[in-house]
Amino acid sequence: MRVQLKRFVPLLAVLMLAVMISACSSNTQNENTAASPSEPANSSSTNTSAEATTAPSTKTVYPLTIENYTNNGEGTEWKTKSQTFDKAPEKVVANTQGAAELLIKLGLTDKMVGVAALYGAGDPAVQEEFKKIPVISENYASKELVVGASPDLVLGRAGLYADADWGVGTVEGLNELGIKTFVQSTSIEGATLDSLYKDIEQIGQIFDVQETAAAYIEELKQRAEALKSTADGVKTFAYVSDGGNGAIAVYSGNIDTFAGDVLGLLGLKNSFGTVTGDVSKEQLIAENPDVMLMSVYTGGLDPQETLKAFYADPSLQSLTAIKNKAIYLIDFNQFWGYSYSIFDGAEKLAAELAAP
């Protein structure tokens, strides 16, 4: 259920999640030599062993070239593009809250000159550090605001790299201004949990904090293994939201492969994961998923009122999730911040699924 990444926040929880992106996880090399990208769609979050990429502990040799991403405009396919760093960036804008929190985790708070898109609960563990970062917009930031912060790097969600009032500007446009870009591979269609490990590895190399990055990757792998142990068989799920006046709306989530991969650790399978286009209420009733997930985000409708409307809707009473009161609230920043905080959300959800 990835955000459509437009300015229409009211349906952010579900209908904004269809942003243009298809995916490759990227490799990195020093000495200005680009490496061939690997395909995240072929990797799996169930592989948390040494087979998944681990950041090197050697120091970065600049200039450093990584393979990252670019596209030809909103809705077009993302392709690889090299970004070369002559030194570690000193002024970074994170285009989302989740991206900023990840940089904090890697000890890079002092490198940030701006953050935008504060749409969910923040991580309490980094709250004090987060307060040190200038908020250039609590909503999605425009290119004017981003460039006005004078960054040498813009880092974050793929779908926000666009020439629109909700976009930070295209990769090509920012690069032409001398601003480097780092598109999170977790936000590219086809991403898996291994894509998060790859992002952390590459950020560690860009900023010459490889040992910190490697240690954090191992910590997250351990959390992934713990999540896998909570799975109790396979349950089907669907993403839902308030489509207006308490009417249920369904989002397929077919392109939100990163969130889907992590939910898979809990034994959750998306009922509409292969569906392209709209999903009707009739399709929801026919599919009858075991549970439903509804995103909560800053500035959104009162989730309790929405739940009340769903549970009282006569047309939904045949649904297992309605009968069992099995609609679970998930935080937008955690599940669509494309960052480590998805573990926080998944651990909370796992506990709720296990509750009697």
The predicted structure's pLDDT at residue 213: 98
The predicted structure's pLDDT at residue 58: 81
Burial class of residue 42, CB neighbours in 10 A (0-12, 13-18, 19+):
exposed
pLDDT tens readout for residues 292-324:
999 999 888 999 999 999 999 999 999 999 999
Give the whole-angstrom CA distance, residue 113 versus residue 279.
Answer: 41
pLDDT level of residue 121 (50, 70, 90 thresholds): confident
Q: How long is the chain? A: 356
Q: What is the DSSP letter of 214?
A: H
Q: Which two tokens stand for residue 104?
A: 């904090």
Greater confidence (39 vs 205) lies with 205
Q: For domain 235-354, which architecture applies?
A: 3-Layer(aba) Sandwich (3.40)
Give the whole-angstrom CA distance, residue 105 versus residue 129.
Answer: 10
Q: What is the DSSP letter of 340?
A: T
> Judging by DSSP bridges, how do beta strands 180-183 and 64-70 pair with one another?
unpaired
Q: Identify whether the C-beta of residue 52 lies closer than 8 Å to the C-beta of residue 45.
A: no
Q: Among candidates 194, 174, 177, which has minimal Cα distance to 185? A: 194
Q: Identify whether the C-beta of residue 322 lies closer than 8 Å to the C-beta of residue 269.
A: no
Q: Among candidates 229, 250, 228, 255, which has minimal Cα distance to 239? A: 250
Contact partners, residue 111, CB within 8 Å, separation at least 6: 88, 89, 90, 91, 92, 103, 207
pLDDT tens readout for residues 201-260:
999 999 999 999 999 999 999 999 999 999 999 999 999 999 999 999 999 999 999 999
The boundaries of every CATH 3.40.50.1980 domain in the chain are 24-227, 235-354
pLDDT tens readout for residues 72-98:
777 789 999 999 999 999 999 999 999
**May I ask the CATH class of domain 24-227?**
alpha beta
